[in-house]
Amino acid sequence: MSDIQKEPSMLLQKRLLADHFDALARAPEEGKKVVYTFVPGNLNELVRSFDLLPVLPEINALQSGMRKLSGGYIAEAEKHGHSEDVCTYVKCDIGMLRKGNIGPTGKRLPKPDLLLLSYTGCFTFMKWFELLREEYDCPVAMLHVPYQADGRIDPHQRDYVVQQLRSEVIPKLEQVSGKKFDEERLRSMLRLSAKAEDDLVWVLESARNVPSPIDAYFGGVYYIGPIFSAFRGTPEGIEYYATLRREIEERVAKREGPITPDGQLENERYRLVVEGPPNWTSFREFWHMFYEEDAVVVASTYTKVGGLYDTGFRHDPDHPLETLADYCLGCYTNLGLPARVALLERYIRDYKADGLLINSVKSCNSFSVGQLLMLRELEQRTGVPGAFIESDLVDPRYFSAANIKNRIESYLQMLDQKRQSKVAS
Amino acid sequence: MTATLTDLLQLARSLHDDLDLTQVSKWKAAKPGRKAVGHMPIYVPRELIHAAGMLPVGVVGGGDRLEIIRGDAYFQSYICRIPRSTIELALSGRLDVLDGMLFPSICDVIRNLSGMWRMLFPDRYVHYVDVPQNFDPAVGGQFWRRELETMRDDFARLSGHPVDDEDLRASIAVYNDNRAALRDLYRERSRRPWVFPLSEVYLLLRAGNVLPPEEHTQMLRAYLRQAPLDSSRREQDQSRVVLVGMFCEQPPHGLVVTLERAGCSAVDDDLLLGLRWLTRDVAVDGDPLSNLVDAYLTASASTASRYSPDGDRARWLLDSVKRNSAEGVVFCAPSFCDPALLDQPMLVAALDRAGIPHTEFKYAEDTGQFAVIREQAGTFSDSIRLWSTP
Ligand code: SF4
Ligand code: SF4
């Protein structure tokens, strides 16, 4: 399909990613060292301050999903004894590895020199890197990030993370890179992070406008791409978010709706908040279901898995390790359920949403367990009706397009009826 | 008066079957003001609850005798059974006897269940027990100490009984006795599994969820004394296996019986690890919290939920196979159990490297049909015996 609409910032992002994967492909011959790590609680600035290159297996998995390769990779992993019941990101990654570890741009990914296991918001991460540890002969740095069960960070939790950074993570980064930790360099990168974070928050909050200039879920996953991955704390990251912000400012000024792959959404009819990750194998089809109905997602929680900035957090160069700890502790899935509900409630109100949709993915217990209760609670608290659909991240067997489409259509009809009866009364 | 073996086993069975926790109610009623604190499986410092004069109660879901009426409305079909039956127990009032509930960091399901509990029962004490995955005394050790201090203070408030070091030392000693009895049971069972069959051992372990530890220790000791006196227990031609994967959602008793009937004698297992997660005695002298911390850092059982910093996921399993002269390993994990099922390929690979036979199947706590498992376990057991015949 050649007539897919793209925003200029999207093209810029594509270039950034391509350059990064090129650099990764060249890493072995250029003698650059590579760190595999996860999106939530990633320590990009710290890793980059040692001139190490990050690889994020979740990004590879979702890209494999979008390129329709994940089904084959998952089958490969299951053939080698991985259970059908477990997270498909893990299996997609293992399958990709077994098939030669060819990354999203068609180039081979280098082997890790270090597995940086940031255990933030999800228990499966630990098992994932234990599995990878069996495949590679390289050290592992474990960063255990405690859970915000009470929805707040206790000082001893922060201390625990900082101590691990000092005693476990930094020494291993030094060992792998052969460089000494340079706190000044880290600070200067954190400064860049904060700047990009300001722009990202501005962009996400632009969805408070009616009509919303962005789709904060389907479009949102592109907007978070650079900052959740290899570009937080880099000049490229700054450039991307400045470009994106200008683009959205223009759209706000013209009162234009979001750009979707099928064209601009011109007539916003429904404003939705979405909880849960998207499905990647049928991402475009899924988005199209919303586009057809003139439904716009105005806020989503998935865009907070790699950092919750819109509640005020910014990387703070004056307290470099403490700020990294707070960042890790604050990622969305590291919050207790009551705090997640409170955040969604705020989104529904602040973004004047008509509805709440939960996309519950089979893979992810971290997201999914408790979502039915969350839905009920939010309906009660806000009076906004909710809908629940089920799919998966990258396992195409669990995306039933007809069922999901039906569910979305009937849900939106119900919202319509509700609206009409309100007008009538 | 000493109870007969039959009495003991009957008591254990009735405690296993008692979804209403009447044993706990009775214990509370015996003395005004008594309180009980429930906890999900594994990694909970029961000593602290005990030291506050409260009864620690292991909650392991509803098994195969609980009709799920409301629980299913809270969980998607692809989530294991234990959270839904536990919610069912709570919503049906069966856990009202518990004055608080602890959710240890076993997996994301139990973690999120702690939040659901807060939302559903805002007036009850709920605590998420965040167990460190860092084993450096100055880092993970300090964090765990802080967690223990928090719980000690919480339990003192909840019980109205301040917990001083003497109380805690006394409780550590009580649990050391219990751990020693459990270790003896496991050792004896490994020597003569036909005297201590899994179907009985399992019930005795389950009794430890609801009995005060002192009584549970007595029960174990009585069983250790009396089972060997039963002359009908004769050595059988069964294969010696280690069972892996049952550390959280518990198998129905029928499954355990099926394994036995299929010719598998368990010589080690990871059932109810919450009772046995510290593999040695905790030092009694000195600072009790430091002693508990040290025991966790240096002597906690390896499970799929605990990081292994040395990079050797399977060592404990290989050790167990060797120590217990096991002939094979049976992986039986709950369906949809991420920790157990993600762990399995690593353990399987290590067994393959070591040439140790294994078989795998899944269960749910309410599995009622055992024909397939029986067939599979039977074939496995036969094949092991065939191979091991000189
Ligand atoms: S369970 Fe969820 S958060 Fe964890 S690795 Fe899988 S998709 Fe990611
Ligand atoms: S059975 Fe497994 S997945 Fe389910 S709660 Fe227990 S450890 Fe978690």
Pairwise CB contact (< 8 Å): B307 & A160: no
Looking up tokens 């879901």 gives B61
Judged against a pLDDT cut of 70, whether residue A314 lies above it is answered with: yes
Tell me the pLDDT band of A137, cut-offs 50, 70 and 90. confident
**For ligand 2, is residue B104 a contact (CB within 6 Å)?**
no
Q: Give CA–CA dist A397/B376, Å, rounded.
A: 28
Q: How far is CA A294 from CA A215, A284, A285, A403, B110, in A?
A: 11, 15, 14, 19, 39
- Across chain B, mean pLDDT equals 95
Which residue's CA is the nearest one to ligand 1's atom 7? A364
Query: pTM score > 0.95 for this model?
Result: yes
**For ligand 1, is residue A86 a contact (CB within 6 Å)?**
no
The structural domains of chain B, ordered by start, are: 21-164 (3.40.50.11890)
pLDDT tens, B301-347?
Answer: 999 999 988 878 899 999 999 999 999 999 999 999 999 999 999 99
Pairwise CB contact (< 8 Å): B108 & A366: yes
Please report the ipTM that was assigned to this predicted complex.
0.96
The mean per-residue pLDDT over the stretch B184-189 comes to 97
Domain ranges, ordered by start, for chain A: 8-179
Judged against a pLDDT cut of 50, whether residue A419 lies above it is answered with: yes
Looking up tokens 């490297």 gives B353
pLDDT tens, A165-205?
Answer: 999 999 999 999 999 999 999 999 999 999 999 999 999 99
Pairwise CB contact (< 8 Å): A124 & B342: yes
Judged against a pLDDT cut of 70, whether residue A162 lies above it is answered with: yes
Tell me the pLDDT band of B2, cut-offs 50, 70 and 90. low
CATH class (in words) of the domain with range A8-179: alpha beta
The mean per-residue pLDDT over the stretch B198-226 comes to 97
Judged against a pLDDT cut of 90, whether residue A6 lies above it is answered with: no
Determine the distance in angstroms separating the CA of B78 from the nearest CA of chain A, rounded to an integer. 6
Strand order in the sheet with A270-275: A295-300, A270-275, A355-361, A386-391
Out of A215-224, A314-323, B213-222, B305-314, which region has the weakest mean confidence (pLDDT)? Answer: B305-314
Q: Give me B60's structure tokens.
A: 């392991």
CA proximity to B41, closest of B88, B96, B110: B110
User: What's the confidence (pLDDT) of residue B1?
Assistant: 41
Centre a 10 Å sphere on the Cβ of residue A276 and count the other Cβ atoms it contains: 23
Q: Best mutation site among A122, A147, A360 for ligand 1, i.e. most ligand atoms within 8 A of its Cβ? A: A122
User: What's the confidence (pLDDT) of residue A332?
Assistant: 97
The mean per-residue pLDDT over the stretch A113-118 comes to 97
Q: Best mutation site among A59, A363, A391, A394 for ligand 1, i.e. most ligand atoms within 8 A of its Cβ? A: A363
pLDDT tens, B91-121?
Answer: 999 999 999 999 999 999 999 999 999 999 9
Centre a 10 Å sphere on the Cβ of residue B65 and count the other Cβ atoms it contains: 14
For residue A141, the surrounding DSSP H or E stretch is strand A140-144
**For ligand 1, is residue A87 a contact (CB within 6 Å)?**
yes
Chain B residues touching residue A160 (CB < 8 angstroms): 132, 134, 139-140, 142-143
Pairwise CB contact (< 8 Å): B107 & A123: yes
- With 0-12 CB in 10 A as exposed, 13-18 as middle and 19+ as buried, what is B51? buried
pLDDT tens, A52-68?
Answer: 999 999 999 999 999 99
Looking up tokens 């704390």 gives A233
For residue A259, the surrounding DSSP H or E stretch is strand A259-260
User: What's the confidence (pLDDT) of residue A4?
Assistant: 65
Q: Does the CA dihedral B303-B308-B313-B314 come out positive or negative? A: negative
Query: Of all atoms in ligand 1, which is nearest to the CA of residue A277?
Result: 7
Judged against a pLDDT cut of 60, whether residue B177 lies above it is answered with: yes
Judged against a pLDDT cut of 70, whether residue B390 lies above it is answered with: no
Tell me the pLDDT band of A1, cut-offs 50, 70 and 90. very low
Q: Give CA–CA dist B357/B349, Å, rounded.
A: 11
Tell me the pLDDT band of B353, cut-offs 50, 70 and 90. very high
Residue of chain A nearest B341, judged by CA positions: A83
Q: Is A210 near chain B, with CB under 8 Å?
A: no
Partner-chain residue, chosen from A83, A336, A365, that has the shortest CB–CB distance to B79: A365
User: What's the confidence (pLDDT) of residue B356?
Assistant: 97
User: What's the confidence (pLDDT) of residue A421?
Assistant: 85
